[in-house]
Chain A
Amino acid sequence: MSAVRPFRFVSSDRRVREDRRFVAGKGRFAADILLPGTRHVAVVTCPHPAARILHIDKTAALASRGVHYVLDGRELAAATAPLLAGLDTPKVPRRPLAVDVARYAGEWVAAVVADSRAVAEDAAELVEVDYEPLPFVLDGEEAYAAGSAVVHPEHGSNVLLDRTFVWGEVEKDFAQSPHHLSLRVKWGRSATVPIETFGVLATWDPWREIFDVFASVQMPRFPDQVALALRLPGSSVRVHNDVDVGGSYGVKRGIKHAVLVGYLSRRLGFPVRLVEDRLENMRGGDGHGPERNFAIEVAFDDAGVIRSMKMRALDNVGAYAGRSPFQLGKPIGAIVGPYRIKSVQYETIAVTTNKTVQEAVRAFGQSPTNYAIERAIDEVARHRGLDRLEVRRRNLIRADEFPYLIPSGTTYDSGDYHAVIEKVLGCADYRELIAERERLRAGGLLAGIGMAACLEPSGANSTFEPLLNPKNETTTYADSCRINVDVSGAVIATIHTLSAGQGHETLTATMIGEVLEIDPERIRVVRPDSLSSLPSQSPVGSRMAIMLDGAAFHAAQKLKARLVAIAAHNLGIPPERAAYDGGDVFDRTLPQRRRSFGELATIAHRQFHRLPPGTEPGLAFAHIMQVPTGGQLPTADGRVQMYPCFAFEFHLVLMTIDSDLGKPTIRRYVVGHDCGTVINPKIVRGMTMGGIAHGIGAALYEEFAYNTDGQLVAQSFMDYLLPSAQEVPPVEIVDHVTPSPHTVLGQKGSGESGYLGAPAAVASAINDALQPLGIAVNSLPIKIAQLGDLIASANPHPNPPPQAGEGRAGAFRSQRGE
């Protein structure tokens, strides 16, 4: 970045204001909120992957001391509407409690309400449910094939979505390309698994006819969806946005939890709270991420330049579908990654199975797709005997080609991918990195260099909804900010959603301070409840730097214009002669003639006679922000601009694998990141570091594994392995700034950075390390045990180690995922 800072506060390494309350243990998380008389819920779960519910005997539970109620699915279904689904699949109804049939092990069948959570848990064990086990299916491909057990027989099959898009002359480009290759890769079922489980407290006030909801949530349209399910007007659901969310990264959707406790609190007349325990969270919290099988075919020339790509992506969304199938839609906005691929065929398939429900996970399906594309690039290089880096360079979009229209109808805003890569290579000393790999290999270790170049789409208008569901005409995802200056001159800004650690209060204050030229510390940022809020979508899809800060910028500009107008009127000069200066306004021709900020606030609030004619008193300004590239419905062939901004990241990793244990070690990790103008460097750096840690988890450790009986076997942190500080290596970040032309200060989103490329980069390093053995791994996560077995079977004589293997590519064989 240039040494000259064009900003006062933006891009400065300022503290994050939210941190003060968190270091003191004074965050206000859902489980910290308790109203007088609150009762607690524990759920009864189905032990079978599929079963008919024959009978529920509540007698013993209800007879327990301190138990108030046992709710079953039939009662709840009679009183509420099914939860909203993203696709047009009315015969796949989703409800908080199973009705007559349960469709995955761990699905909620009944809810017990008691004086304490402990009593509720005890009583849940006393609820006797008779089940008739039913046939079930776990594997996505099996579920797609004819003859499979069907999860929702009324729907007719397990297929929720099956659409093939063709953009450009795919067949022609394939026919004209001298080389083709195909591979299958698999992204395993993992998720972001926040340390705070989902929690919600609801209380119904029959006199005011208002539900108050305190929830740990990150869900667009959350108040609206709760109201719809409870058959209440939106004006009767008041969601409190001043609750801190203990991590989400996409998954804290919580509609079913909120509808459940909402109904109970209304039915029973007291506040009801459900805070998941870890088992409820991992099995029945409906927070699993994509589980996706890819088949990719690419057509390329002698130089490794890819002309066309065919991609089939089949996602196993679990037993029901909310917004999760849309995770196949987001990648359409960056379907060629950072590469100049002219034509694409993309087949999207979403199937139901008897697994836990999939929900949105960080990057909303883009990270698996990036992994698949990057695997293909590495394979093209191997096929042509070319350097992987050189193949990427040849295929990357060049800086002078922006704005760049990709086949699926999206125009990338800006970037300089080659420059970012050069910076990373310089930082890492690439030649030395290669020499280090060779030294490690010579020393008997399996060593490999991994790389991944990928995009982070940000700031969606949500047109993936109409893209995959023709009955849906969503083309906007607005966000908003309101600024009020009180009579004393205090500046108060509002944001209208919850946050899960993204620092939105800091971002908002920084942006308003920048525009108003006043210290951001002077700006109070508050979160009105949902009934007092302006439109907001919750912080999904890396949107807030673009959308919330865009709204804050425009609201601040409106305020500034009013201050100038009031001052000019009072100075008796035309507004264009008035100059704004840190809240004060002066006469350009006579700078000593000025009106102070405090004086202007007093005039606006108290002295109507000094206001310009027709001016409203007060200083309150709101802005509701549309996505900068607007919103158009997709074309008939599925071309659409969903995201306005595209950040770029390039990962370079050196790894070794202990060939006896299969244990991988990351020895060096350098990432180049270009998300345009950075508003707060501490926040962006943290996002990238955290995203890489998530990506390492998804690549090496984390999997919601099932056994063949349909039971989730990774249902505690003893089995679902989260990277600790020991597993996450030091990461060097190289920054680059290519401003976006679409946003107020050139910023792009970065909430999903790191996670978008880390899994691909780690997989690339492992495959580079394994290449001398003539094997490759095409499924994530790559677990230690699997890696050890693979190496052992490929390498019957581990000592001495096999030497340099670039020439052994002929022995290559591909390991199919599972």
Chain B
Amino acid sequence: MRVDLTVNGQTHALEIEPRMSLLDCLRERLLLTGAHAGCEHGVCGACTVLIDGAPARSCLIFAVQADGYAITTIEGVPPGPGELSPVQDAFCESHGMQCGYCTPAMILAAHALLAGNPTPTRAEIVEAISGNICRCTGYAQIVEAIALAAERLRGRNQPAAKP
């Protein structure tokens, strides 16, 4: 079946089996391997991508259903090669990960949160990532990373605060 998938601003015309999940399509056909399979039944969130800006489980969506939507994967987040978005940089600053397997999904969930809520409370951050399981960190440094990213994003285009 033919499908036009718009991923990270680029449209790909693909011939795929209707039963192929969006996750498999991204990973196997477009070689965007930053989205990961964890449970493949919609619980762990490791496969999270943004669809029209909202976090979604790419393991629970057929690729053919995603035709016409704007899909963002982790590969679409860095401003340039070797450069990090403020959220990605905050995750590095707080060490909001260990093995890195759930990390791309966490970062996309954080981007979605901060796009709509520049001043999230701890409870709102927790809520935003509660659909993403991390087995390494116990979440503390992830929550801190998102709070730090929010702070830095709020401070953009302003004179840098003196240390």
Chain A residues in the interface with B (C-beta under 8 A): 15-16, 18-27, 29, 31-32, 118, 192-197, 244-249, 275, 277-278, 500-503, 682-683, 685-687, 689-694, 716-718, 722, 724-726, 728, 730-731, 754
Chain A residue nearest to B35 (CB atoms) is A25
Q: Is the CB of A501 within 8 A of B92?
A: no
Give how many B residues have a beta carbon under 8 Å from the other chain's beta carbons. Answer: 58
Task: From the candidates A277, A503, A689, name the one contacting B137 in the complex (CB within 8 A).
Answer: A689
Q: Is the CB of A716 within 8 A of B95?
A: no
B50 at the binding interface (Cβ < 8 Å) = no
With contact pairs A29-B36, A195-B36, A716-B43 given, residues A754 and B138 touching in the complex (Cβ less than 8 Å): yes
Beyond known contacts A23-B89, A691-B138, A724-B133: 18 more, CB 8 A cutoff: A15-B92, A19-B91, A23-B88, A24-B74, A25-B73, A29-B33, A193-B135, A196-B99, A197-B37, A244-B99, A682-B95, A686-B136, A686-B137, A686-B141, A690-B134, A694-B138, A724-B130, A725-B126
Q: Which residues of chain B are near A694, meaning CB under 8 Å?
A: 135, 138
Task: From the candidates B77, B93, B95, B126, name the one contacting A686 in the complex (CB within 8 A).
Answer: B95
Chain A residue nearest to B76 (CB atoms) is A25
Q: Which residues of chain A are near B114, meaning CB under 8 Å?
A: none
Chain B residue nearest to A116 (CB atoms) is B28
With contact pairs A19-B100, A21-B100 given, residues A195 and B133 touching in the complex (Cβ less than 8 Å): yes
Q: Which residues of chain A are near B98, meaning CB under 8 Å?
A: 247, 500-503, 686-687, 690
Bound-state CA distance A716–B103 (Å) is 21
Task: From the candidates B39, B100, B137, name the one contacting A717 in the complex (CB within 8 A).
Answer: B39
Most B CB atoms within 10 A — which of A22, A246, A278, A728? Answer: A22
Q: Which residues of chain A are near B95, meaning CB under 8 Å?
A: 15-16, 19, 682-683, 685-686
Chain A residue nearest to B95 (CB atoms) is A682
Bound-state CA distance A728–B136 (Å) is 12
Bound-state CA distance A193–B39 (Å) is 11
Q: Which residues of chain B are near A692, meaning CB under 8 Å?
A: 138
Q: Which residues of chain B are near A731, meaning CB under 8 Å?
A: 138, 140
B97 at the binding interface (Cβ < 8 Å) = yes
Q: Which residues of chain B are near A722, meaning CB under 8 Å?
A: 43-44, 133, 135
Q: Which residues of chain A are near B4, meaning CB under 8 Å?
A: none
Chain B residues in the interface with A (C-beta under 8 A): 17, 19-20, 27, 32-41, 43-44, 46, 73-75, 77-78, 84, 88-89, 91-95, 97-104, 107, 122, 125-127, 129-143
Bound-state CA distance A694–B135 (Å) is 7
**Total A-B pairs in contact (CB under 8 Å)?**
185
With contact pairs A29-B36, A716-B43 given, residues A196 and B101 touching in the complex (Cβ less than 8 Å): yes
22 sampled A-B residue pairs with Cβ under 8 A: A19-B100, A22-B100, A23-B89, A23-B100, A24-B84, A25-B103, A29-B101, A31-B27, A195-B102, A244-B100, A246-B101, A247-B101, A275-B37, A500-B99, A501-B98, A501-B99, A682-B141, A690-B135, A717-B41, A725-B125, A725-B132, A731-B140
Task: From the candidates B73, B122, B141, name the one contacting A685 in the complex (CB within 8 A).
Answer: B141
Q: How far is the CB of B2 from chain A (nearest CB, A)?
A: 19
Q: How far is the CB of A490 from chain B (nearest CB, A)?
A: 19
Task: From the candidates B39, B75, B142, name the one contacting A25 in the complex (CB within 8 A).
Answer: B75
Q: How far is the CB of B110 from chain A (nearest CB, A)?
A: 11
With contact pairs A15-B93, A689-B137, A724-B133 given, residues A23 and B101 touching in the complex (Cβ less than 8 Å): no
With contact pairs A19-B100, A196-B101, A690-B98 given, residues A24 and B138 touching in the complex (Cβ less than 8 Å): no
Q: Is the CB of B39 within 8 A of A278?
A: yes
Ranked 7 nearest A-B pairs via Cβ? A25-B34, A22-B100, A501-B99, A501-B98, A246-B101, A693-B138, A25-B74
Chain B residue nearest to A33 (CB atoms) is B33
Bound-state CA distance A118–B33 (Å) is 18
Q: Is the CB of B101 within 8 A of A728?
A: no
Q: How far is the CB of B81 from chain A (nearest CB, A)?
A: 10
Q: How far is the CB of A354 from chain B (nearest CB, A)?
A: 26
Task: From the candidates B99, B107, B130, B138, name the one contacting A247 in the complex (CB within 8 A).
Answer: B99
Task: From the candidates B38, B131, B136, B138, name the one contacting A501 in the complex (CB within 8 A).
Answer: B136
Q: How far is the CB of A788 from chain B (nearest CB, A)?
A: 23
With contact pairs A25-B73, A683-B95, A722-B44 given, residues A20 and B101 touching in the complex (Cβ less than 8 Å): no
